[in-house]
Every structure is written in structure tokens, then in C-alpha cells.
Structure 1
Amino acid sequence: MVGLLGRVISSSQGLYLYTNIHALSGIRTHNPGFRASERRSTCLRLLGYRDRQLLITVCFILQGRLNRKLVQTEIGILLKLRHPHIIQLREVFETRTEIQLILELVTGGELFERIVERGHYSEHDAAEAVRQILSALQYLHAHGVVHRDLKPENLLYESEHEEAHLKLADFGLSKMLHRGDFTMKTLCGTVGYCAPEILLNKEYDASVDLWSLGVVTYIMLCGFEPFWDDTGEMAVCRHIVEGEFSFPSPWWDDISDSAKNLIRQLLHIEPLKRPTAVEALNHPWVRGETPRRNHMGSTIKRLREFNARRKFRVSSCLIEFKA
């Protein structure tokens, strides 16, 4: 095999990424960081490597239409990133018919699925998860990377071990901000987690990731979305661009004021008034000083229902990425 870097792929060829991870040797596996794209998934293999197993996912080169920038962006970003809370791409190989991506294997499941399986779940547990996500975002933003599609499906645990790291995955909609560039204007993301400036097709920056984290944090603490509207997606978008959300009783009665304060900051309609990842890491709730430790059993029940609903909504929520 020939290394991918430095090799030119003809513009007439189509390259597709596959990510529907199959169970391998009885191990439950999960999306390691790549988006499926209108093709059936390929077979995947496990590879023993030093002290850990890696996942080999095969990406066929096919004739047809393709946004090659998506592939180059995704692979290029992941090759450069090294952080305990970010999925690692270890190596990339190319043959005449396929590209093989050697990835860190994660087997611990999605964040929200892990929560509902816990025997005990409190604000303190939620704050620790948020801290790990913010650590990943701080690293990404410091390296000029904006994730742009932060959502529960992209938050995966390294293993089933109780102390396993939470890892940020799926960089299919990521964007590198080069020196001198401070904003972007590409429509992307998943509607319920999109910042207002994205939906309004305005220029935006890394603060969109903090907004998305605000949505995730809100759901983690109550089990439903801050901008949800039964009348449809257009109503959801309207609530988002107007910054319309609340902490309704009785579902939020037992949640600390400190947690609500953080969420209000993250979901501020003005991007410049949202905290940076560094600033959010210094919030008392994230530092573990103010979150409550009482078990949130009713939240777990609603999160279980939320997990079931979102599996049926995935296809209707994704905004197609366009370069």
C-alpha cells in the first residue's frame, strides 16, 4: 500500500466514507469519527497494535460525484489531532481500489446511552462529562479547528470501564481556521444543535461549538431539548434564532442555579457574549464546585425516551454539507 499523503486522486473518481460499525468478535463498536454517506457500509476489521486494538475502516474509491474537499478535510484534520478526549486517526493507507483508515477503537457507547445505563446519575456526573467535552473543544479551537456538529451521537466513551475517557468524534463537518481567518459562512450541522448565526447564514466562529454544548448540557440535565416544538423543524429554527428557551417546572426545580447559569451563558444569542472553551472550563459548575449530587432518576427516564425518539429523527435533522 502507498501512503495517502502526497498521492493525487483523479477528480473523476468518487471517494466515499463508511461508518455503520458492525459488532466484531462480540464487541459492541461505535462510530469512530466518520460520517456515512448514501452507500451501504463496508466490512470492518480489528487490528492488534501494541497495547490496544485499532479499527480498520475501508473507504472505497468509486466513480461518481464527490465533494473531495470533505474527504481531504476530514482526514487532514484527524491526522493532526492528539488529545485524550478526541478520536485518533493513527494511519492512512491507499491502494488502487480503497483507502484504509486505521482508527482508535472505542467500545464504551454514546454519552446519552451510557447515562441511562448508570445506576446513579447526578449533576456532578453531568459536569464531569461537560468538562471533558470542553477540554476537547479547547484543544480544537487552539489548533484552529471548529467542530460544527457537536451532538450526542458524536460523544463516545473509549471503553466500558467506569473511568473511561469521553471522546469527541465525527469531523465530517469540521473546518480549519487558518492564520488570519476568524469566521466561516458554510451552512452545516444538525438543526436542534445549530447556533442562530448558522441558521441565519451569517458569519460565525468557534463559539458555535459552545452553543451546541449548551444544548447538549441542557438535555443531559432534564431529558428534553431546549428548543423542541411539536409543530415541526421550522418552529424549532424560529425558537433558536430568537433564543427562546426556559427551565420549566417541575423538571428543572431540582437543578442547581449554577447549572442554569452556565447554560444561559452557552445559549446566549450573541456569539461574542458566549464564553470561550477556556472560560467555560473555569465555571464553578464545570470545576465541580457547585453541581448537586442527588440522583436524577426522572431525568434518566426522559433521556431513555429521548434516545429512542432521536434514532427515528436522524435522517430528517441533518443539513447537507456543501463546500
Structure 2
Amino acid sequence: MGDQLGGGGCGSVFAGFRKADLFPVAIKHIPQANLFCKHVVSGQHRLLHCGFHLTHCLNSLNGKRFPTEVAIMLKLTAEKNDFVGTSAPVSLLDWYDLGHELIVVMERPVPAIDLSTYILLKKGSLQESNAKTIMKQLVVAAIGLEQNGVFHRDIKPENILIETGRRIPRVRLIDFGLSCLVKKGSYYTVFYGTERYATPEFCSSSVYRAGPSTVWQLGAVLYEMLHNQGFITKRFLRKQLKISGGLCQNLKDFLQLCLEEDPKMRPTLRELQLHQWLK
């Protein structure tokens, strides 16, 4: 284990390397008091094989209770067809329940920086073409989570990594500590996430759903990519933050749809993917 990469309410994350092959990893320490809930693993899951030392058969874990973050990352990693690094969510490599804390070991894309830092390096805002490249990948990633019944709940620039060692920047999703497994149509009345990105419906009625909330958060991320200022839902609703008039019409329409105050008026993730701006 090496230097600390970040920390927050859920735990602390450190850089590290696997001793066997020096593969870069991220090591997350989560105090027992910060484990919000546990999930019972059930159903049929195929063998998890990531091409590394970790091989878990979820069938053998059937009926056992795991921290939700571990259960979700197991599920997402199991859905990958081949090796670590083949989809947007970072892969789970191993975990250790020590009683007083949970340690989660994940892949660590290198070189990569979070989207918040990436935006700063681009002088506070991105060119439309660059923002489109990132948003296309984010929408695909969000659809993948939705298909797996996963609600991230905290999509924001700090939880989006950009792999910078490629000609085209590649998006990776991190920090599933506030995520949950959901059924279609489920409503939530307890807020988990970052308050500044809370949906209008939660601000007004203390209720939110997975799909419309994810679309809102994607809109907030896109706003920050383009406007050289942080997004805060309550300021946006009070018209203290406005969508720039200098954006092209298709982009402006896409952003306005994501940031519709009425969740029923927001498009689905599939509809977003088909929007003219992303073509």
C-alpha cells in the first residue's frame, strides 16, 4: 500500500501494487460503522475469472450476506466477459472483512485522473467534442448499470476516472459505496449521495427513483464539463445557474432534457443515447 488517493464519509482509498506482479490496485478501507447495509447474494451467477489470482464462484456464496458495495462489484465484475479493465466500472480484485473494517481491493487504471481534475487541466471547461466523447461513454456505462439492476446514486466528476494514456480519453466509474441493487420502479425516501447533486424531486418531496436521478446527475456532470463552475441543484432551480447560450442547439437541448425539473419529463437513458447530439 502506498499514498492515499482520497477519502470521504465512507472510507479512505490508497494506491498500491499487487506483490505477485506489481499490478496497480486501489485499496479502500471502510470502517465497520460506515457499512450502511448488507446484501444477500442469491440466484445463479457464473464463475468469476478475471485473469488474476482472484477467482470467486458466487454460487458458493448463495444465501450469505455481504456488504452491498462488495455484492454490487461482484455482480458487475461477473458480468465482464474476459478480463479486468474491459468495461466502465472498475473491477473488484479481492476483499477482506476484518470485523472492525472492510478492505476492498480494486483495479487502479494508470495513467488516469478524475474528471474534476481533468476539467481543471482543460482550463475549467471542455470543448464540445471532448464533452461529447465523455458523455457518450457515461451514458453507455449508466445503461450497463441499469441493465444489471445497479443504482450508483453518486455519479459526479470525482467518481469518474479518465484514462489519459489513450488517444481518445476513456471513462471509468469508481466508488460504489453508496450504490444499491434495485428493482424497476422502486422509489427511495432516504438520500444517499452528494447533496449538491440531489434531484429536484428529492429537494421538494424527499423521494427519488433510479433512472430519472441518474439522468439528472449526468446532466449535472455535463454542466460542469461545459460551464467553468460547479453545479448545485438548489442554485440551478433558483435560476442562479443558467445553461450557456453559446452552446450549439443540439447540445443545449440534450442538457435541458437531463436537467428537467419534472422527473417524468426527463428522457430515459436509452432515449438519451439516441439523442441527436450524441450521434
State TM-score, norm by structure 2.
Answer: 0.73
1:220 equivalent in alignment to 2:192? no
Give 3-state SS (helix, strand or coil) of 1:93's partner: strand
Q: Report deviation, 1:278.
A: 1.4
Q: Select which of 173, 185, 188 maps to 1:184.
A: 188
Mapped to 2, the partners of 1:104 and 1:148 lie a distance apart of: 21
Report 1:1-323 matches (<5 A): 23=3, 30=5, 36-37=8-9, 41=12, 45-47=16-18, 52-59=23-30, 65=33, 67-69=35-37, 72-82=67-77, 84-95=87-98, 99-107=102-110, 108-118=112-122, 121-178=126-183, 182-200=186-204, 201-225=206-230, 227=232, 237=234, 239-240=236-237, 246-248=242-244, 252-253=245-246, 255-287=247-279
Mapped to 1, the partners of 2:100 and 2:190 lie a distance apart of: 31
Mapped to 1, the partners of 2:127 and 2:243 lie a distance apart of: 17
Larger Rg: 1
Percent pairwise identity: 24
Moved beyond 6 Å, runs of 4+: none
Give 3-state SS (helix, strand or coil) of 2:188's partner: coil
CA 1:274/1:282 → structure 2, altered by over 3 Å: closer, same or farther? same
Question: When you count strand as a share of all residues, which structure comes out higher?
Answer: 2
CA 1:87/1:118 → structure 2, altered by over 3 Å: closer, same or farther? same
Q: Report deviation, 1:256.
A: 0.6
Give 3-state SS (helix, strand or coil) of 1:188's partner: coil
Mapped to 2, the partners of 1:239 and 1:42 lie a distance apart of: 32
Greater relative contact order (Cα < 8 A, sep 6+)? 1
| 1:49-91: CA deviation from partner (whole Å, max 9, x where unpaired) | 6694333444566xxx554516711111111114611121122
CA 1:44/1:260 → structure 2, altered by over 3 Å: closer, same or farther? closer
Give the conservation status (yes or no) of the 8 Å contact 2:219–2:255. Answer: yes
Q: Report deviation, 1:139.
A: 0.6
RMSD of aligned residue pairs (Cα, Å): 3.2
Mapped to 2, the partners of 1:38 and 1:145 lie a distance apart of: 18
Structure 1 alignment gaps of length 5 or more: 1-20, 24-28, 228-235, 288-323
Give the conservation status (yes or no) of the 8 Å contact 1:44–1:58. Answer: no
CA 1:160/1:57 → structure 2, altered by over 3 Å: closer, same or farther? same
Mapped to 2, the partners of 1:216 and 1:205 lie a distance apart of: 16
Structure 2 alignment gaps of length 5 or more: 39-65, 78-85
Give the conservation status (yes or no) of the 8 Å contact 1:46–1:56. Answer: no
